[in-house]
């Protein structure tokens, strides 16, 4: 098949990603609806193409490795926002740290309580617990406690999309006006995808949300094994 030839498949599948995202941005701008997130639209297009043409995920992943490198740069670029707001962060470091710890714990506790009510198996619960941190950390934590890595990856993605779409609207409806609170809420609950929405709210929200990604990742990595050991 054509996708077995890397010289042919890589450019096509690479351009597919760009095309799908451009279509997603265009549809969001055209509709002006918050729930029409570009990642939801582009992912749907890509998944449909892969299924219709029976393209292996490995081929698609190999063709889009350059985006993994670019994503690394995009995360590092959040450092500029942190540097630009460093004095603001210093003056509020206590509330930022305490809120991040509480947010990580509450996030895991809510999952445990809801899944306990519906009698969900432990391996599924463990797979969902690290849902609010970035995918590499979440998948690593899930594997370390015999969770289902594939399920974790999907849940992390859906959590990010849900937080990015619903988060700003929800915070506005319940009257949260603190720039720190909004940034922490989006960064701790929906990682990098939520941070993209935080940046749209303002520079302070974006900087604190970017910081929250790192804090929540580190805190969850420390607390997750203890939490699972105590309750599962």
Dump pLDDT digits (tens) for 9-21. 788 899 999 999 9
Identify which of 153, 155, 158 has the alpha carbon closest to the alpha carbon of residue 136: 153
Task: Report which of residues 88 and 165 the model is more confident about.
Answer: 165
106 pLDDT exceeds 60? yes
Phi and psi at 143, nearest 5°, equal -65, -40
Task: Report which of residues 51 and 84 the model is more confident about.
Answer: 51
Could you tell me the CA-to-CA distances from 99 to 107, 113, 185, 187, 208 in Å, in that order?
Answer: 12, 21, 9, 11, 12
Q: Are 129 and 111 in contact (CB under 8 A)?
A: yes
pLDDT for the residue numbered 8: 64
Mean pLDDT for the stretch of residues 188-201: 87
Q: What are the tokens at 4?
A: 């077995």
Q: How far apart, in whole angstroms, are the C-alpha atoms of residue 232 and residue 218? A: 21
Burial-class residue 2 by CB neighbours within 10 Å (0-12, 13-18, 19+): exposed
Mean pLDDT for the stretch of residues 214-230: 94
Task: Report which of residues 68 and 156 the model is more confident about.
Answer: 156
pLDDT for the residue numbered 5: 61
Tokens 């990642």 sit on residue: 39
pTM for the model stands at: 0.83
């Amino acid at each position: 098949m054509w996708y077995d030839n890397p010289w042919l498949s890589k450019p096509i599948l690479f351009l597919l990603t760009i095309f799908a995202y451009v279509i997603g941005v265009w549809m969001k701008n055209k509709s002006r609806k918050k729930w029409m997130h570009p990642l939801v639209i582009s992912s749907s297009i890509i998944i449909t193409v892969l299924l219709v043409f029976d393209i292996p995920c490995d081929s698609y992943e190999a063709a889009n490795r350059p985006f993994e490198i670019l994503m690394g740069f995009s995360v590092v670029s959040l450092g500029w926002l942190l540097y630009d707001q460093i004095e603001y962060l210093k003056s509020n470091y206590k509330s930022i740290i305490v809120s991040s710890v509480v947010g990580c714990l509450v996030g895991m506790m809510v999952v445990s309580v809801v899944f306990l009510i519906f009698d969900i198996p432990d391996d599924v619960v463990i797979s969902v617990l690290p849902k609010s941190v970035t995918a590499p950390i979440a998948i690593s934590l899930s594997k370390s406690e015999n969770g289902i890595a594939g399920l974790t990856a999907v849940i992390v993605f859906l959590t990010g999309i849900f937080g990015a779409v619903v988060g700003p609207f929800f915070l506005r409806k319940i009257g949260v006006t603190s720039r720190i609170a909004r940034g922490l809420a989006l960064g701790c609950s929906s990682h990098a995808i939520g941070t993209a929405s935080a940046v749209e709210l303002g520079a302070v929200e974006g900087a604190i949300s970017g910081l929250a990604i790192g804090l929540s990742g580190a805190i969850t990595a420390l607390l997750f094994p203890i939490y699972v050991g105590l309750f599962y």
